[in-house]
Structure 1
């Protein structure tokens, strides 16, 4: 098609594809073919999608995460099968709230103590997983109470399923995994939301990637482990859940013992296999490579917003020398720093450039004013 329209590969400076079509393999190898012809035709995968791929990969690669989300699925199925069960779920927290108000354990006021539902997680919207984990933890006592009630009032398969889930639900292992997922999703949630914002500031988003990595790395340290274990233990004590002895042998809950870390100790299973292993998969290394982040960071210096507040001569010179050197002669590269400073001074003084918001608008007005020449 490029040849039909007499367009040259040398002028291709970027690649973009519809994500779903690309994953189906409709354009396999196209990215490499174009980059072989034009190395400066950089391809930056959707950062929001990269983050979601990382988060989903954890659930698929970690048997402990898979087990945890399977239990959540069983819980949702057990509670969402009938109107009667959903009514139980609505009534139980109301009764607990009345008791708590009488004991003055909660505050009253507009917007406080509102009714919550559980909802269902969706892989394409990973924030939905964070939402349901938060609600399971905040509604923990209510959910256990409802599961026991279903086990008492129903018969057969439904009662047995509810009691089986309730048994797993009140295990230290389930509570541990719920809080671990809450910690990880809590640190990645803001990044996930920022990356999906159409008006996002590229530099801010890239900084958030670095910040998220920093906090996840801090979480896996000895101090992070001690604080996390204290939080989980406090929750277990509050809800009368037996806390495992970290020096004792590990016994899996709701899973066959054979082949699952035979002879392992609790400390190794919970800290090494669950806590550290899951966080290590979430560090985001390799998902946001330095080429893409530096390329976008340099390009952000073009942004005309707030009278070109993001302008940075060094970044734009680096963009030319490192990423698009083939577009310039050595003489042009030598003159570039002074030309850039003259450019930004010129456009800042021109009223026609004062209310621009993005690169698209900047490109149009540059052509309309002949300043592209």
Structure 2
């Protein structure tokens, strides 16, 4: 093994940045079994508790029995099944868009849409966008302008500076995955419309969560005409894969230009069957989304009362910012000892000096579960009052 590999691993350990994997001993859910213990899990993106739902498992089994285990090829060869076409129509309806196209993951979707739409032009990207958006910008061979987080005025100024550029793309997370705040989508769309730019919204953490489950645009009451929306099937919808919804012309361009769609084997039938079942549950059980919202309010209110700098937001992602890596690791470990799995998040996922606990709540958490976590965190704050709270990083 080359020495530089060992050196890099040692550097990660020395900076409290080393990561390991913890295998679950059963399905993901509000309660999980790991390391021989049952834990209350406040770290997953399974916001609606569908990952282990028997209806999704049965949907996967039905699809496998009829369509087989694999798609057999990429989408543009022989890999487009009737299941793909039907699910894409359902996803377009969910987002209120003309058309949709499936991708194998949210990461691949963002790479595909940004390289296809942004190539040779200008991409304007929020400074706290997801890593997959950052990498999509890098691969697009475009000029990339990074605007201040959730700052439409800075975005408008940068758009104005590129008035002579015909191909302009504005890209933003809808719900930001590490802070839980929402992009100011109405103002972003207004600035983009004035300057002839396409708006791409990453709705990975908004689909099934806000706007009655339909996402960021619906949360703000915005008609989605002209929007390009990426969503995932593997978070609130409990399955796997992703999609891009928007105008039919954009869908057609992606089919012809998105390399991360063209050059990979299509999503297999069991995954499509599970995703289709999840959409059915979302449509017939709106109370799941309502229960998620109620649990979100309970968690945020409880943390505020305990002295944490937590804003009033409608999303189930609640960061407790502690500053250094060591503090985040220590708090996570102390919660683990009390039976709570709350994952520490460190750079480069978040900016230096903002290491945190990223708490996520599910529709399937009992109110008592949430209260118990709040009490445990309040105990930690009382024992470690020097832990830095940074409301400006969560606003």
- Report the TM-score, using the length of structure 1 for normalisation: 0.25
- Report the TM-score, using the length of structure 2 for normalisation: 0.24
- Which is higher, the Rg of structure 1 or of structure 2? 1
Report the structure, 1 or 2, having the larger helix content.
Answer: 1
